[in-house]
Amino acid sequence: MITIERITSHHDRRSFDCGVEQLNAYLLKYSGQHERKGIGRTYVATRDGETRVLGYYTISSSGVAFDLVPENLPHHPVPVALVGRLAVDVTARRARLGETLLIHALRSAQRAARIVGIYAVVVNALDESAKNFYLKYGFQELSDDHLHLYLPVKTIERLNL
């Protein structure tokens, strides 16, 4: 069984390897700092009773320019939840852990949207493979970059995650 919880110092991050050095380095060097400073929240997946990180995502508040979103919105920055990083250890691939982490992130954003204004969840896909992963869940392109994607909270609500 997998547990997803906020990162703490007891989680073993050193052995994490998703195959992308910048994602490995973020988890090891910066996730704890960002957590303590309130810059982002990192959630880690572990097997029950274990501390080794098998996957993680980081979520924070952000905004995008109104003209990047295809919908007709007020001419103000659009409040969004940013899933800045999402990665799965190479040993945990094929277990749908990426999907589990994404659904957890979407549910977290949906809960936050009930309290503060959040129009969508935004991601910056690293490459076409990552983009295709997000497209399967209904994400759409923003107009500035084909790897800059968003999923409206109203769509998340309809998904009944």
pLDDT in the model for residue 72: 81
User: Dihedral angle at the C-alpha atoms of 61, 62, 66, 68, nearest 10 degrees?
Assistant: -120
pLDDT in the model for residue 102: 97
- As to burial, measured by CB atoms within 10 angstroms (0-12 exposed, 13-18 middle, 19+ buried), residue 73 is middle
CA distance 129 to 22: 17
Quick: pLDDT tens for 25-71.
999 999 999 999 999 999 999 999 999 999 999 999 999 988 888 88
Q: Is the pLDDT of residue 161 over 80?
A: no
pLDDT in the model for residue 19: 96
pTM for the structure as a whole:
0.93
Q: Is the pLDDT of residue 112 over 80?
A: yes
Q: Is the pLDDT of residue 2 over 80?
A: yes
CB of 86 closer than 8 Å to CB of 101: yes
Identify whether 134 is a catalytic site residue. Answer: yes
Mention every residue, 6+ apart, whose C-beta is less than 8 A from residue 74: 66
CATH number, residue 49: 3.40.630.30
Number of domains making up the chain: 1
Choosing from 26, 56, 119, 134, the catalytic residue is 134
Q: What is the mean pLDDT of residues 78-88?
A: 96
CB of 86 closer than 8 Å to CB of 64: no
Question: In terms of residue numbers, what domain contains 132?
Answer: 2-159
